[in-house]
Amino acid sequence: MINDEKLTLLVEKIKEVLPKKESIPLHEPSFIGDEWKYVKDCIDTGWVSSVGKYVDLFEKKLADYIGVKRVVAVVNGTAALHIALKIIGVQEDDEVLMPSLTFVATANAAVYCGGVPHFVDVEERTLGLDPYKLNEYLHEIAIIKNNQCYNKITGRRIKVVVPMHTFGHPADIDPLLEVCERWKLIMVEDAAESLGSFYKNKHTGTFGKISAISFNGNKIITTGGGGAIITDDEDLADLAKHLTTTAKIPHSWEYVHDMVGYNYRMPNINAALGCAQLEQLPKFIKKKRELARKYKEALRDISGIRFFEEMHFSKSNYWLNTLILEKSFELKRDELLKALNESGIMSRPIWYPLHQLKMYKNNPKMDLSMTEKLSQQIINIPSSMGLWRGSNE
Ligand SMILES: *Cc1c(COP(=O)(O)O)cnc(C)c1O
């Protein structure tokens, strides 16, 4: 039962934006283009798996859209992150700086390489890595030796920084790049959520030496399951392609492999779905931004609630719409989630901070007060492209 007036009003306001349906998912895919046609083509021709034209086509179209030299399509975003971190040189015992406020895959991918996730705090204005706090922290704990960064406390090398663009909102990349420069760190972006999001007019994922995107079923476009490694570095792209396709030396009939590779290649049938989805992406973004505008307007007069918006330097894809519950609301987060979900408005809190998960609770970390505060304040509300006008057009 909701008896708080404000809570009721908030639920009503959100309902006004949404179509009158019994249940509205947080995010569902839309297949309103040539998805069926391209997938059928795979089935009709028999090319559903590791050979076929759609993988090359998807990689090429995606590279054009993003404005990057090379794209390597893989089975999911986690695999993309794994390979990106591996080929950038994350080795046994290297520390990888990353937000604690991210999906668990960011940390897992570092561990797959033998690396150690080292958790960094986020900024309230972007929900992404805090460059200023990171820089101060590195002054305290890091030292440069032989042109490499080391953690004075653990003795381990700090190799990489992984900013993540939360819910599609770009992190403040320029000052982060300055921190990387000063501390001899490599940037690898977890751009899993930010296809179609730009920082200072340049696509997210193009600032890191190599970056990862996801096409999971809940992302802005989907290939069923899928991901991509993106980079401007031809050698890294060639290596990524080789490693993700079992490191087989091209030959018409012989099976010779020259490394321990991975079977991470995106199947043709998934790439076919991706090609059709990519054609729709500009439209999806337009509608998602429109939905965000409507939420913002509807919630304008409710005190204690902030609809999270893009920064002046960003253009966000508004993948998942985000509310920040301020002082007067904060303590009622779970009550609000319950009220929304019971009204058929599927909503959820942000991820449990990674430094509080059982397998990462002893990992190195800085003061994470903003992460801990925000993790209690953030909820996501329905964000599917198809909701933009209260119709399913
Ligand atoms: C979705 C996501 C991933 C992983 O992508 P999958 O395709 O689900 O493996 C990684 N990082 C973040 C931040 C994500 O949101």
pLDDT tens, position by position, 239-297: 999 999 999 999 989 999 999 999 999 999 999 999 999 999 999 999 999 999 999 99
- 168 pocket-lining for ligand 1 (C-beta < 6 Å): no
Write the CATH number of the domain with boundaries 35-278.
3.40.640.10
Model pLDDT, residue 319: 98
Mention the CATH class of domain 4-27+280-387.
Answer: alpha beta
Measured CA to CA, the distance from residue 360 to residue 353 in angstroms comes to 10
pTM for the structure as a whole: 0.96
> Counting beta carbons within 10 angstroms of the beta carbon of residue 255, is it exposed (0 to 12), middle (13 to 18) or buried (19 or more)?
exposed
pLDDT tens per residue, range 104-114? 999 999 999 99
Q: What is the pLDDT of residue 330?
A: 60
Spatial CB neighbours of 105, under 8 Å, sequence gap ≥ 6 = 77, 78, 81, 190, 192
- Which ligand 1 atom sits closest to the C-alpha of 225? 7
338/304 Cα distance (integer angstroms): 18
Q: Could you tell me the CA-to-CA distances from 173 to 12, 77, 200, 207 in Å, in that order?
A: 37, 21, 9, 8
CA distances from 36 to 14, 26, 32, 182, 343 (A): 33, 24, 9, 50, 33
CB 241 within 8 A of CB 265: no
Who contacts 387 (Cβ-Cβ below 8 Å, separation ≥6)?
A: 17, 18, 19, 24, 291
Residues 6+ apart with CB under 8 A from 318: 167, 168, 285, 288, 289, 291, 292, 310, 383
Residues 6+ apart with CB under 8 A from 244: 72, 74, 79, 83, 229, 261, 262, 263, 264, 265
pLDDT of residue 1: 41
Calculate how far, in angstroms, residue 78's C-alpha sits from the geometric centre of ligand 1. 6
Number of other CB atoms surrounding residue 186 within 10 Å: 18
Mean pLDDT of 94-117: 98
| pLDDT-derived band at 137, boundaries 50, 70, 90 | very high
- Is the beta carbon of 211 within 6 A of some atom in ligand 1? no
Mutate to test the pocket of ligand 1, among 193, 244, 264, 322 (most ligand atoms within 8 A of CB): 193
8 Å CB contact between 10 and 302? yes
Q: Is 106 in the pocket of ligand 1 (CB under 6 A)?
A: yes
* Residues ≥6 apart with Cβ < 8 Å to 18: 24, 345, 382, 387, 390
Return the best residue to mutate from 214, 229, 348, 380 for the ligand 1 pocket (most ligand atoms within 8 A of CB).
214
Q: Rounded to whole angstroms, how far apart are CA atoms 18 and 291? A: 9
| Beta strands at 198-199 and 314-315: parallel, antiparallel or unpaired | antiparallel
Atom of ligand 1 nearest to the CA of 215: 7
CA-CA distance, 233 to 236, in Å (whole number)? Answer: 5
- Residue 243 near residue 259, CB atoms below 8 Å: yes
Determine whether the shortest distance from the Cβ of 214 to ligand 1 is under 6 A.
Answer: yes
**Exposure of 155 by Cβ count < 10 A (0-12 exposed, 13-18 middle, 19+ buried)?**
exposed
Q: How far apart are CA 306 and CA 302, in angstroms?
A: 8
Give percent of the chain above pLDDT 70.
Answer: 97
User: Dihedral through CA 332, CA 335, CA 337, CA 340, nearest 10?
Assistant: -120
What is 277-294 written as a DSSP string?
Answer: HHHHHHHHHHHHHHHHHH
Distance 124 CA to ligand 1 centre (A): 22
Tell me the pLDDT band of 374, cut-offs 50, 70 and 90.
very high
Beta carbon of 193 within 6 Å of any ligand 1 atom: yes
Determine the residue of 27, 78, 211 to mutate for testing ligand 1's pocket, defined as the one with the most ligand atoms within 8 A of the Cβ atom.
78
Does residue 105 have its Cβ closer than 6 Å to ligand 1? yes
In the chain, where are the structural domains located? 4-27+280-387, 35-278
Return the exposure string of 357-367: e unless at least 16 CB atoms fall within 10 Å of the residue's CB, then b: eeebeebbbbe
How far apart are alpha carbons 242 and 248 in whole angstroms? 7
Which whole number is the average pLDDT over 218-236? 98
**Does 227 sit in the ligand 1 pocket, CB within 6 Å?**
yes
**Residue 388 scores a pLDDT above 70:** no
Task: Average the pLDDT over 68-82 and give the result.
Answer: 98
Residue 192 Cβ contacting ligand 1 at under 6 Å: yes
- Cβ burial of 131 (10 Å; 0-12, 13-18, 19+) is buried
